[in-house]
Amino acid sequence: MSKMQFTADQVNSLAQMLKPPDEDSDSDCELDERPSSYGKMGPGQIGPASKTDQKSEKVPASKGNSKDIWDENEVPEGSEFDTTFDPRPQPEYDIVFKQAVSSEDMFLQMGNKTPSTASCEDMVIKIKLPGTKGADLTLDVKSKFLDLRTPKYKLGLHLPHPVDHKSGKAQWDGDKEILNVTLRMQREYDFMNF
């Protein structure tokens, strides 16, 4: 195969041909050479021509309040807690990913598990709550948001992956004053198990 080489004049000529015409510049292309519909075309002219004598059909009212700016599906879960002023501090927390491995995965490497988080099934959130009792905890878990409230602390955590919020479990360790929340992740491509 031979390489094609262009001179500087050929590259400039090609650039001039591909450049959109500018109405203010004095280029070689005159206004009468352009298609007459070029300057008049807008988004309303795309598609079949509409008849001006037809009356526009009324759009059915959407479900809910007509004064709503957003649909419920457009607002991410937990965003109602982001703007709420609360002077309580956020506790320290760690997110740990957990996977179930067998002897085949550990010693023989026969399974398709890898050390990456893509092979993990569970997410464990370890929340340190010093000076808190287990009876004072209020925990609410959504598919992408965790809301924890105590008299001393408030945690609103957007989760990195969607979770099965109905089958999670929380365990309070009173000696260490740590709440362990274990949630099963539900990612879109989990069936492939990278």
Residue 176: give its domain's CATH number.
2.60.40.790
User: Tell me, what's the pLDDT at 79?
Assistant: 66
In a domain, 16, yes or no: no
**Domain hosting residue 125, numbered range:** 86-184
Q: How much is the pTM?
A: 0.55
In a domain, 111, yes or no: yes
In a domain, 50, yes or no: no
Query: Tokens 């360790």 correspond to what residue?
Result: 173
In a domain, 78, yes or no: no
- Domain count along the chain: 1
In a domain, 122, yes or no: yes
In a domain, 96, yes or no: yes
User: Tell me, what's the pLDDT at 58?
Assistant: 47
In a domain, 22, yes or no: no
User: Tell me, what's the pLDDT at 55?
Assistant: 47
Tokens linked to 31: 């206004």
In a domain, 164, yes or no: yes
Long-range interactions of 94-100: CB distance < 8 A, separation 24+: 94/125, 94/126, 95/123, 95/124, 95/125, 95/126, 95/160, 96/123, 96/124, 96/125, 96/126, 97/122, 97/123, 97/124, 98/122, 98/123, 98/124, 98/182
